[in-house]
């Protein structure tokens, strides 16, 4: 047992104060955003409809998830452990969930007010710079809130529970990750159902512009940008922040005792300073690209973060591993201050490289995206094929870069497994020193997209202003893809680091309960070796779960989008006055359909993520469960990057055509580009981003249940019947949800076939 000295307690208290200061700065930035002009009455009316729809959706979603969170909180009490730890873990599970939901709601609330102000700024003098400033500072508010709440939660746990903080933080990270996954999946289904439905009927069938007010799905599309991209991604990055901290603190305490528990908090506190600097220095100069300004701000703040983290390491850490207060110290002759600084630097460099690589594969001026745009001349099939090719290729490079970073950390650890796992978590903390800027980059995208929609629907923005908003939207497509790449990198680093926590939990509980020699079957269940057939089965099941999860998410969008297509067609058919502006579309009906379908589809992916590890762990054992996590990480990183970058390339290829290339708007090439974009929508904004919290939810579930699996497998009270009973129930819940989803899909298809109106009959002459 370690005890925190007065110096460490003082440092953690200062970190908590920094967290509060970050929240104060977020409030100041929020006031600056809201002080900007709100544009015309028409703009305000459209923005108000988006605000009301987004708030109504999130309120209904939170009511749905509240019961689920309470049930999970109660289930955490069933896990073995000290009563005080159980209470703390359960309470901070709810705190993590509430913080994650709060970040998501804040991102949505402010974005739905900033979009109006960006649209209004576009037609003013210096509109490009001012619009970019408002959009980026909107993200800055959310970024500072992520840093503030994440630091505040972690520092509070350390101050209250001291040496037991890592066990309690498991609950905090689990709550954040679980809510983020639900918000990602639900928001992603909502936004892409509306977007796909709007494009297929409005742009392809009716030949009207993307955000034409005659399209009944336009309001729902703009609502979706906020509940999916803003709320979902903000919650996702918050849980990345929380879970990476959890992994670092658990491993730091195990290896280095007091200093290992405190130093990761210091590194992430540096991130608060970096976030302030990054938001302050990111300004568009004259007519330069918004992407150039954002990249400049990111790289400068990243370098500052590396320097400050190195200073903190040399001030706080001892010069020799032998000088640490306590812990299971590795046998290493190096200087821990230098090694820790290098690990943080590797994480920051990883973020910078992924930023560049993702920008290369998805940017409007890069060869891959230009190639996808060029294939629009030969039809939709070649557009889809080229986008898939770009996605696959980019996934290999990104995964290779992440693997190289992990190898680099392993080398500076001198081959020590325990030290390298802690340093991987520290690299994740280093990457997240830039999280404030990363969140700002991500929020920039949907705010710019919404601003363009408001401008087009209102018709109150000049031609020059409309072009500025189009350019900002294209920049936003790239920044969203970049932040998705960085988010998956944090997921991999956090999940890899959690392997160490998992192994430590298994070893500790095994030492407590193990009795005599194990049977061959039980020994195989406890074996981590990849050459063990049963462990390899776990690897296969882990990869398969990622594919099944992705398929469920995409299929959910397909069904919801189909319902939107039928509804928008119906309105055009039954109300011909819509096309002549004599009748107003029923926007609310489309918003209601998106809300209903997204919440209905929410449970299946969530139950799969929570119960699949339980089924594998209790059914096959500790070794196969470790293999399950490894398979999920390997498949997850490739799948997430493939989906995000393919979708980003399709989206920006469409922008290239709409800018006048290959025939421009209304041409056959444009129709082909729209098909590519609609295929990519659920890729990049639903399934791909949801894989990040999926990996961390499954890792944290495995970490939480590992001691219980050991108890029923090798302890004196080992109970094969109980173990298999738990596994069967978990498998029935996970795959019962999948079967229910399939049956629901079949019912929806029958209803659609019964009520379907052929597309050609739905067109208005």
Helices (H), 35-164: 41-75, 83-122, 127-161
* 286 has a pLDDT exceeding 90: no
Q: What would the pLDDT profile of 92-108 be if each residue is shown by its tens digit?
A: 889 988 898 888 888 88
Q: How far apart are CA 166 and CA 246, in angstroms?
A: 6
Query: Is residue 4 predicted with pLDDT exceeding 70?
Result: no
pLDDT at 764: 35
What are the CB-based long-range contacts (under 8 Å, 24+) for 567-570?
Answer: 567/197, 567/216, 567/217, 567/593, 568/197, 568/198, 568/201, 568/202, 568/215, 568/216, 568/217, 569/201, 569/205, 569/757, 569/759, 569/762, 570/757, 570/762
Give Cα separations from 703 to 263, 423, 710 (angstroms).
23, 19, 12
Mean pLDDT of 616-627: 89
> Tell me, what's the pLDDT at 759?
41
Please give the C-alpha separations between residue 442 and each of 111, 135, 546, in angstroms, as whole numbers. 11, 10, 24
pLDDT band at residue 616 using 50, 70 and 90 as cut-offs: very high
Q: Report whether pLDDT(1) > 60.
A: no
Mean pLDDT is lowest, of 281-290, 546-555, 722-731, for 281-290
> Which pLDDT does position 758 carry in this prediction?
45
Do 536 and 626 touch, CB atoms closer than 8 A?
Answer: no
Query: Which of 141-145, 391-395, 695-699, 713-717: highest mean pLDDT?
Result: 391-395
Q: Which pLDDT score is estimated for 761?
A: 41
pLDDT of residue 745: 66
- pLDDT at site 622: 87
What local confidence, expressed as pLDDT, does residue 545 receive?
Answer: 93
pLDDT (0 to 100) of residue 513: 73
Looking at per-residue confidence, does 634 or 201 come out higher? 634
- Residue 126 confidence (pLDDT): 61
- Residue 514's pLDDT is 66
pTM for the whole structure:
0.83
Which band of pLDDT confidence, cut at 50, 70 and 90, is reported for residue 206?
confident
pLDDT, position 765: 31
């Amino acid at each position: 047992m370690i005890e925190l000295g007065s110096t460490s307690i003082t440092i953690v208290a200062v970190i908590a104060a920094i967290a509060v200061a970050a929240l104060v700065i977020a409030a100041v930035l929020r006031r600056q955003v809201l002080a900007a002009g709100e544009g015309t009455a028409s703009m305000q009316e459209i923005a108000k409809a988006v605000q009301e729809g987004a708030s109504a959706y999130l309120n209904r979603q939170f009511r749905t998830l509240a019961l689920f969170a309470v049930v999970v909180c109660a289930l955490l009490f069933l896990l073995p452990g000290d009563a005080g730890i159980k209470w703390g873990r359960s309470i901070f599970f709810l705190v993590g969930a509430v913080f994650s939901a709060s970040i998501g709601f804040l991102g949505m609330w402010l974005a739905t007010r900033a979009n109006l102000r960006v649209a209004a700024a576009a037609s003013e003098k210096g509109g490009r710079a001012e619009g970019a400033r408002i959009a980026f500072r909107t993200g800055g508010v959310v970024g500072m809130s992520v840093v503030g709440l994440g630091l505040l939660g972690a520092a509070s746990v350390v101050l209250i529970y001291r040496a037991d903080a890592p066990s309690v933080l498991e609950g905090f990270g689990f709550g954040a990750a679980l809510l983020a996954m639900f918000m990602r999946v639900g928001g992603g289904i909502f936004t892409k159902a509306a977007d796909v439905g709007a494009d297929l009927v409005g742009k392809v069938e009716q030949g009207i512009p993307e955000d034409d007010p005659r399209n009944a799905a336009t309001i729902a599309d703009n609502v979706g940008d906020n509940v999916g991209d803003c709320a979902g991604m903000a919650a996702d990055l918050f849980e990345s922040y929380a879970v990476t901290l959890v992994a670092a603190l658990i491993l730091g305490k195990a290896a280095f005792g007091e200093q290992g528990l405190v130093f990761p908090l210091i590194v992430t506190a540096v991130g608060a300073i970096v976030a302030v600097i990054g938001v302050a220095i990111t300004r568009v100069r004259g007519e330069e690209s918004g992407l150039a300004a954002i990249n400049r701000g990111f790289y400068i703040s990243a370098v500052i973060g590396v320097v400050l983290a190195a200073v903190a390491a040399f001030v706080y850490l001892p010069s020799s591993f032998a000088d640490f207060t306590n812990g299971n110290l590795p046998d290493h002759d190096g200087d821990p201050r230098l090694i820790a600084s290098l690990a943080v630097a590797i994480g920051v460099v990883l973020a910078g490289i992924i930023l560049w690589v993702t920008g290369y594969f998805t940017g409007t001026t890069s060869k891959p995206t230009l190639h996808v745009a060029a294939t629009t001349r030969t039809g939709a099939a070649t557009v889809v094929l080229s986008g898939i090719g770009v996605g696959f290729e980019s996934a290999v490079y990104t995964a290779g870069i992440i693997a190289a970073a992990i190898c680099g950390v392993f080398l500076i650890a001198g081959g020590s497994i325990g030290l390298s796992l802690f340093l991987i978590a520290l690299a994740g903390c280093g990457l997240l020193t830039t999280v404030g800027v990363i969140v700002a980059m991500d929020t920039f995208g949907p705010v710019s997209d919404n601003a363009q929609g408001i401008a087009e629907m209102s018709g109150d923005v000049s031609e020059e202003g409309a072009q500025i908003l189009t350019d900002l939207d294209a920049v936003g497509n790239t920044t969203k893809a970049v932040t998705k790449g960085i988010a998956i990198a944090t997921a991999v680093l956090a999940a890899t680091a959690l392997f160490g926590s998992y192994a430590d939990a298994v070893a500790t509980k095994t030492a407590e309960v193990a009795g005599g020699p194990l049977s061959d079957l039980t020994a195989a269940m406890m074996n981590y070796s990849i050459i063990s057939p049963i462990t390899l089965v776990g690897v296969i099941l882990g990869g398969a779960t990622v594919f099944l999860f992705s398929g469920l998410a995409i299929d959910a969008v397909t069904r919801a989008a189909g319902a939107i297509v039928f509804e928008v067609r119906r309105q055009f058919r039954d109300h011909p006055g819509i096309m002549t502006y004599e009748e107003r579309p029923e926007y609310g009906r489309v918003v209601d359909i998106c809300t209903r379908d997204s919440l209905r589809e929410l449970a299946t992916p969530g139950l799969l993520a929570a119960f699949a590890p339980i089924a594998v762990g209790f059914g096959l054992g500790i070794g196969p469960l470790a293999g399950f996590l490894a398979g999920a990480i390997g498949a997850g990183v490739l799948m997430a990057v493939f989906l995000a970058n393919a979708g980003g390339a399709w989206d920006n290829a469409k922008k290239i055509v709409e800018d006048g290339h290959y025939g421009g708007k209304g041409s056959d090439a444009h129709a082909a580009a729209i098909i590519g974009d609609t295929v990519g929508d659920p890729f990049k904004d639903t399934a791909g981003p949801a894989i990040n919290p999926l990996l961390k939810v499954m890792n944290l579930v495995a970490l939480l249940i590992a001691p219980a699996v050991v108890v029923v497998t090798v302890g004196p009270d080992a109970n094969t019947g109980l173990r298999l009973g738990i596994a069967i129930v978990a498998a029935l819940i996970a795959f019962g949800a999948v079967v229910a989803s399939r049956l629901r899909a079949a019912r929806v298809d029958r209803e659609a076939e019964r009520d379907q109106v052929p597309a050609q009959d739905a067109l208005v002459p």
